Amino acid sequence: MIELIPAIDLIDGKCVRLTKGDYDSKKIYNEDPVAQAKEFEALGFKRLHIVDLDGAKSKHIVNDAVLRAVTSATNLTVDFGGGIKTEEDIRKAFDAGASMVTVGSVAVTHPELCIEWLKTFGAERIILGADVRNGKISINGWKEDSSEDLLPFLKTYIDHGVKNVLCTEISKDGTLAGPAIELYKQLMAAYPEMHLIASGGVSCNEDIKALEAAGIPAVVFGKAYYEGKIKVEGLIC
């Protein structure tokens, strides 16, 4: 069964969603992320994806106190991303209770550093963030597009032991327009050993079932849940 991972995106300590990464499109869904995390846990979810959007913009972790509050109040397995640029940031996230961290921009700008982190912390605790727009990896809170093509970028890190990859199709994110299933099928065909986490565009239970049918191991969703378009009872057995 596909792994179901609800998301909490943080700005000013509140649960928000953006559209296509545009900070001006911010919509607040819950002012209490701990209460939101408890709600997810009560529904039966085991995993939670937290994104520090303030951190992504500031290029260092900002909302580690919120992360600590969530991990202290729940038994959810939490992965945390946004603004992780240094080993200090990683240690701060782990100290605050994260089980895994997502590293994106640094994997593009300083690959030798990211490869060293894989050795230091273990590949099972590092999720490679591959945020893609027009076939290129985007960095720094999606404000910049790099020259890195998606498939070669993934190969570099898979060759260094990466198993977990979070791939967000930016043009889909927050649009409720359906996920980029063909892209994810292409990635799984190229790297079947990868634990691919699909992100962006999920609008309903049928989208999640379509990803599962396509053999995608995991999915992150946020806006569709907050907008009441996902029926949890139809997902969790």
Query: In terms of Cα–Cα distance, which of 119, 116, 61 is closest to 94?
Result: 61
Please, what is the end-to-end C-alpha distance for the chain in angstroms? Answer: 10
95 is catalytic: no
CA quadruple 82, 201, 5, 23: dihedral positive or negative?
positive
DSSP string of 193-212, one letter each residue: TSEEEEES---SHHHHHHHH
CA separation for the pair 208, 47 (Å, rounded): 16
79 is catalytic: no
The values of phi and psi at residue 129, to 5°, are -90, 115
Which amino acid is residue 201, in one-letter code?
G
Distances (CA, A) of 66 to 53, 115, 130, 137, 151: 12, 28, 24, 28, 34
Q: Which of 9, 52, 173, 207 is catalytic?
A: 9
SS3 assignment, position 202: coil
SS3 assignment, position 108: helix
Query: In terms of Cα–Cα distance, which of 11, 103, 15 is closest to 57?
Result: 11
Q: Which of 54, 64, 79, 131 is catalytic?
A: 131
CA separation for the pair 87, 129 (Å, rounded): 16
Which amino acid is residue 84, in one-letter code?
I
- Residues belonging to the active site: 9, 131
